[in-house]
Protein backbone atom coordinates (compact mmCIF):
# COMPACT_ATOMS: atom_id res chain seq x y z
CA UNK A 1 0.00 0.00 0.00
CA UNK A 2 1.13 3.53 -0.77
CA UNK A 3 2.56 5.52 2.11
CA UNK A 4 1.26 9.01 2.87
CA UNK A 5 3.58 11.74 4.10
CA UNK A 6 1.60 12.90 7.11
CA UNK A 7 2.09 16.20 8.88
CA UNK A 8 4.07 15.83 12.08
CA UNK A 9 0.97 16.67 14.12
CA UNK A 10 -0.97 13.79 12.61
CA UNK A 11 2.03 11.47 12.56
CA UNK A 12 2.50 12.03 16.29
CA UNK A 13 -1.09 11.00 17.01
CA UNK A 14 -0.70 7.88 14.85
CA UNK A 15 2.52 7.00 16.67
CA UNK A 16 0.86 7.41 20.06
CA UNK A 17 -2.01 5.14 19.10
CA UNK A 18 0.55 2.66 17.82
CA UNK A 19 2.27 2.80 21.20
CA UNK A 20 -0.99 2.24 23.08
CA UNK A 21 -1.95 -0.68 20.84
CA UNK A 22 1.39 -2.35 21.54
CA UNK A 23 1.22 -1.68 25.26
CA UNK A 24 -2.21 -3.29 25.49
CA UNK A 25 -0.65 -6.63 24.57
CA UNK A 26 1.81 -6.40 27.46
CA UNK A 27 -0.63 -5.31 30.16
CA UNK A 28 -2.54 -8.64 30.49
CA UNK A 29 0.73 -10.57 30.43
CA UNK A 30 2.12 -8.36 33.20
CA UNK A 31 -0.99 -8.86 35.32
CA UNK A 32 -0.86 -12.62 34.87
CA UNK A 33 2.84 -12.76 35.73
CA UNK A 34 2.25 -10.54 38.75
CA UNK A 35 -0.58 -12.74 39.97
CA UNK A 36 1.38 -15.94 39.36
CA UNK A 37 4.92 -14.97 40.42
CA UNK A 38 4.56 -11.82 42.50
CA UNK A 39 4.34 -8.07 42.09
CA UNK A 40 8.02 -7.54 41.31
CA UNK A 41 7.93 -9.93 38.35
CA UNK A 42 4.69 -8.42 37.10
CA UNK A 43 5.97 -4.87 37.40
CA UNK A 44 9.25 -5.79 35.72
CA UNK A 45 7.35 -7.38 32.85
CA UNK A 46 5.26 -4.22 32.47
CA UNK A 47 8.37 -2.01 32.39
CA UNK A 48 9.95 -4.22 29.73
CA UNK A 49 6.75 -4.13 27.69
CA UNK A 50 6.56 -0.35 28.08
CA UNK A 51 10.13 0.09 26.86
CA UNK A 52 9.63 -2.25 23.91
CA UNK A 53 6.43 -0.41 22.93
CA UNK A 54 8.17 2.94 23.23
CA UNK A 55 11.14 1.78 21.16
CA UNK A 56 8.88 0.46 18.40
CA UNK A 57 6.86 3.68 18.45
CA UNK A 58 10.01 5.76 18.05
CA UNK A 59 11.08 3.78 15.00
CA UNK A 60 7.66 3.77 13.37
CA UNK A 61 8.02 6.39 10.64
CA UNK A 62 5.06 5.76 8.34
CA UNK A 63 1.60 4.23 8.31
CA UNK A 64 -0.10 2.58 5.33
CA UNK A 65 -3.36 3.97 4.03
CA UNK A 66 -6.44 1.85 3.36
CA UNK A 67 -7.16 0.61 -0.13
CA UNK A 68 -8.06 3.41 -2.55
CA UNK A 69 -11.32 1.74 -3.50
CA UNK A 70 -12.35 1.51 0.14
CA UNK A 71 -11.49 5.15 0.72
CA UNK A 72 -13.39 6.25 -2.39
CA UNK A 73 -16.52 4.36 -1.36
CA UNK A 74 -16.41 5.82 2.13
CA UNK A 75 -15.81 9.33 0.79
CA UNK A 76 -18.72 9.07 -1.65
CA UNK A 77 -21.07 7.88 1.08
CA UNK A 78 -20.02 10.57 3.54
CA UNK A 79 -20.21 13.46 1.09
CA UNK A 80 -23.74 12.53 -0.01
CA UNK A 81 -24.93 12.38 3.59
CA UNK A 82 -23.03 15.36 4.96
CA UNK A 83 -22.06 18.53 3.10
CA UNK A 84 -21.05 20.59 6.12
CA UNK A 85 -17.79 22.58 5.94
CA UNK A 86 -16.19 20.01 8.24
CA UNK A 87 -17.08 17.17 5.86
CA UNK A 88 -15.92 19.19 2.84
CA UNK A 89 -12.60 19.85 4.53
CA UNK A 90 -12.10 16.15 5.30
CA UNK A 91 -13.15 15.14 1.79
CA UNK A 92 -10.74 17.62 0.19
CA UNK A 93 -7.88 16.50 2.41
CA UNK A 94 -8.45 12.90 1.37
CA UNK A 95 -8.54 13.92 -2.28
CA UNK A 96 -5.22 15.68 -1.87
CA UNK A 97 -3.28 13.31 0.36
CA UNK A 98 -4.65 9.91 -0.68
CA UNK A 99 -5.41 10.49 -4.37
CA UNK A 100 -2.95 13.30 -5.24
CA UNK A 101 -5.84 15.27 -6.74
CA UNK A 102 -4.64 18.76 -5.87
CA UNK A 103 -6.72 20.57 -8.49
CA UNK A 104 -9.97 18.85 -7.53
CA UNK A 105 -9.35 19.47 -3.83
CA UNK A 106 -8.66 23.16 -4.43
CA UNK A 107 -11.72 23.60 -6.68
CA UNK A 108 -13.98 21.93 -4.13
CA UNK A 109 -12.69 24.05 -1.25
CA UNK A 110 -12.99 27.24 -3.29
CA UNK A 111 -16.69 26.46 -3.86
CA UNK A 112 -17.22 26.59 -0.10
CA UNK A 113 -14.86 29.48 0.52
CA UNK A 114 -17.77 31.93 0.80
CA UNK A 115 -18.94 30.10 3.94
CA UNK A 116 -15.91 31.69 5.65
CA UNK A 117 -15.50 28.51 7.67
CA UNK A 118 -12.05 28.62 9.31
CA UNK A 119 -11.35 24.91 8.78
CA UNK A 120 -12.21 25.10 5.07
CA UNK A 121 -10.04 28.18 4.70
CA UNK A 122 -7.14 26.64 6.64
CA UNK A 123 -7.33 23.45 4.56
CA UNK A 124 -7.38 25.41 1.30
CA UNK A 125 -4.49 27.66 2.33
CA UNK A 126 -2.47 24.67 3.53
CA UNK A 127 -2.91 22.85 0.21
CA UNK A 128 -2.02 25.98 -1.76
CA UNK A 129 1.10 26.39 0.35
CA UNK A 130 2.10 22.79 -0.31
CA UNK A 131 1.58 23.42 -4.01
CA UNK A 132 4.06 26.30 -3.94
CA UNK A 133 1.48 29.10 -4.04
CA UNK A 134 2.12 31.04 -0.82
CA UNK A 135 0.81 34.37 -2.15
CA UNK A 136 -2.50 32.77 -3.10
CA UNK A 137 -2.66 31.10 0.31
CA UNK A 138 -1.96 34.44 1.98
CA UNK A 139 -4.80 36.09 0.08
CA UNK A 140 -7.20 33.28 0.98
CA UNK A 141 -6.46 33.70 4.69
CA UNK A 142 -6.66 37.49 4.65
CA UNK A 143 -10.03 37.30 2.89
CA UNK A 144 -11.47 35.27 5.77
CA UNK A 145 -13.06 37.55 8.39
CA UNK A 146 -12.24 35.08 11.19
CA UNK A 147 -8.52 34.70 10.57
CA UNK A 148 -7.45 36.94 13.45
CA UNK A 149 -9.50 34.93 15.94
CA UNK A 150 -8.87 31.34 14.83
CA UNK A 151 -5.65 29.69 16.10
CA UNK A 152 -5.53 27.09 13.31
CA UNK A 153 -5.87 29.69 10.57
CA UNK A 154 -3.19 31.77 12.25
CA UNK A 155 -0.94 28.72 12.46
CA UNK A 156 -1.24 28.20 8.69
CA UNK A 157 -0.70 31.92 8.16
CA UNK A 158 2.51 31.66 10.16
CA UNK A 159 3.67 28.82 7.91
CA UNK A 160 2.89 30.95 4.85
CA UNK A 161 4.84 33.93 6.17
CA UNK A 162 7.75 31.71 7.14
CA UNK A 163 7.91 30.27 3.62
CA UNK A 164 7.99 33.85 2.34
CA UNK A 165 10.95 34.53 4.68
CA UNK A 166 8.96 37.05 6.72
CA UNK A 167 10.35 35.80 10.01
CA UNK A 168 9.36 38.66 12.32
CA UNK A 169 5.80 38.67 11.00
CA UNK A 170 5.61 34.89 11.36
CA UNK A 171 6.73 35.12 14.99
CA UNK A 172 3.94 37.57 15.81
CA UNK A 173 1.36 35.35 14.14
CA UNK A 174 2.57 32.18 15.86
CA UNK A 175 2.51 33.92 19.24
CA UNK A 176 -1.03 35.16 18.60
CA UNK A 177 -2.08 31.65 17.60
CA UNK A 178 -0.63 30.27 20.83
CA UNK A 179 -2.41 32.91 22.91
CA UNK A 180 -5.76 32.15 21.26
CA UNK A 181 -5.24 28.39 21.59
CA UNK A 182 -4.60 28.76 25.33
CA UNK A 183 -7.78 30.78 25.68
CA UNK A 184 -10.25 28.88 23.52
CA UNK A 185 -8.43 25.83 22.15
CA UNK A 186 -8.13 24.68 18.56
CA UNK A 187 -11.34 24.30 16.54
CA UNK A 188 -13.15 20.95 16.58
CA UNK A 189 -12.13 18.78 13.63
CA UNK A 190 -14.53 15.87 14.03
CA UNK A 191 -12.19 13.64 16.04
CA UNK A 192 -13.07 12.07 19.37
CA UNK A 193 -12.14 13.92 22.55
CA UNK A 194 -8.95 11.99 23.23
CA UNK A 195 -7.68 12.43 19.67
CA UNK A 196 -8.63 16.11 19.82
CA UNK A 197 -6.61 16.41 23.03
CA UNK A 198 -3.59 14.76 21.41
CA UNK A 199 -3.89 16.97 18.34
CA UNK A 200 -4.06 20.05 20.56
CA UNK A 201 -0.81 19.04 22.24
CA UNK A 202 0.73 18.30 18.85
CA UNK A 203 -0.36 21.59 17.26
CA UNK A 204 0.89 23.50 20.29
CA UNK A 205 4.24 21.74 20.03
CA UNK A 206 4.38 22.61 16.32
CA UNK A 207 3.76 26.27 17.09
CA UNK A 208 6.60 26.32 19.60
CA UNK A 209 8.92 24.48 17.22
CA UNK A 210 7.99 26.89 14.43
CA UNK A 211 8.79 29.81 16.72
CA UNK A 212 12.10 28.12 17.49
CA UNK A 213 12.85 27.86 13.77
CA UNK A 214 12.10 31.55 13.26
CA UNK A 215 14.25 32.65 16.17
CA UNK A 216 17.06 30.37 15.00
CA UNK A 217 17.06 32.03 11.57
CA UNK A 218 17.17 35.42 13.28
CA UNK A 219 20.06 34.11 15.43
CA UNK A 220 18.14 34.73 18.64
CA UNK A 221 19.33 31.44 20.06
CA UNK A 222 18.07 31.72 23.68
CA UNK A 223 14.53 32.25 22.40
CA UNK A 224 14.95 29.42 19.90
CA UNK A 225 16.11 27.01 22.61
CA UNK A 226 13.24 28.08 24.85
CA UNK A 227 10.59 27.33 22.25
CA UNK A 228 12.18 24.07 21.16
CA UNK A 229 12.04 22.99 24.81
CA UNK A 230 8.43 24.12 25.21
CA UNK A 231 7.54 22.11 22.13
CA UNK A 232 9.49 19.04 23.18
CA UNK A 233 7.85 18.72 26.60
CA UNK A 234 4.50 18.32 24.86
CA UNK A 235 5.74 15.41 22.74
CA UNK A 236 6.01 11.97 24.31
CA UNK A 237 8.07 10.59 21.42
CA UNK A 238 11.63 11.91 21.72
CA UNK A 239 12.34 11.01 18.08
CA UNK A 240 10.21 14.06 17.19
CA UNK A 241 12.04 16.43 19.52
CA UNK A 242 13.79 19.46 18.08
CA UNK A 243 17.14 20.88 19.18
CA UNK A 244 19.49 23.59 18.05
CA UNK A 245 23.25 23.80 17.97
CA UNK A 246 24.34 27.29 18.88
CA UNK A 247 27.39 28.31 16.84
CA UNK A 248 30.44 28.80 19.00
CA UNK A 249 32.48 31.93 18.54
CA UNK A 250 36.21 31.72 18.96
CA UNK A 251 38.16 34.70 20.23
CA UNK A 252 40.52 36.23 17.72
CATH number of residue 96's parent domain: 1.25.40.10
Give 136-155 pLDDT, tens digit per residue: 999 999 999 988 999 999 99
pLDDT at 40: 92
Residues 130 and 186 in one domain: yes
Q: How many domains does the chain have?
A: 2
Integer CA distances (angstroms), 9 to 5, 99, 114, 198, in order: 11, 21, 28, 9
**Cα–Cα dist 114/135, whole Å:** 19
- Say yes or no to pLDDT of 251 above 80: no
Residues 25 and 73 in one domain: no
Give 55-79 pLDDT, tens digit per residue: 999 998 877 776 666 666 666 666 6
**Cα–Cα dist 204/200, whole Å:** 6
Residues 85 and 194 in one domain: yes
Gyration radius from the chain CA atoms: 21
Residues 38 and 87 in one domain: no
pLDDT at 62: 79
- Say yes or no to pLDDT of 2 above 60: no
Residue predicted with more confidence, 204 or 252: 204
Let me know if residue 214 belongs to a domain.
yes
Contact 240, 198 (CB under 8 A): no
Let me know if residue 249 belongs to a domain.
no
Give 81-125 pLDDT, tens digit per residue: 667 888 888 888 888 888 888 899 999 899 988 888 999 999 999
Let me know if residue 246 belongs to a domain.
no
Let me know if residue 138 belongs to a domain.
yes
pLDDT at 125: 95
pLDDT at 97: 83
Residues 114 and 235 in one domain: yes
Give 194-220 pLDDT, tens digit per residue: 888 888 899 999 999 999 999 999 999
Contact 9, 203 (CB under 8 A): yes
- Say yes or no to pLDDT of 5 above 80: no
Domain range for 24 = 8-58
Let me know if residue 72 belongs to a domain.
yes
Give 6-18 pLDDT, tens digit per residue: 678 888 988 999 9
Amino acid sequence: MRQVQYDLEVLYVYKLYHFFSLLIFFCPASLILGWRFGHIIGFSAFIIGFLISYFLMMHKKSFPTPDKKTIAQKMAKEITQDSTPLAISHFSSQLYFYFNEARQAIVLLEKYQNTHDPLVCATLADILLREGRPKHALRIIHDNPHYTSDPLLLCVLGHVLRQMNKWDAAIKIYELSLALARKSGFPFNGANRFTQFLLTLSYTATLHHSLGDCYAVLKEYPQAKKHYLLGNIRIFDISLWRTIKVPTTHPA
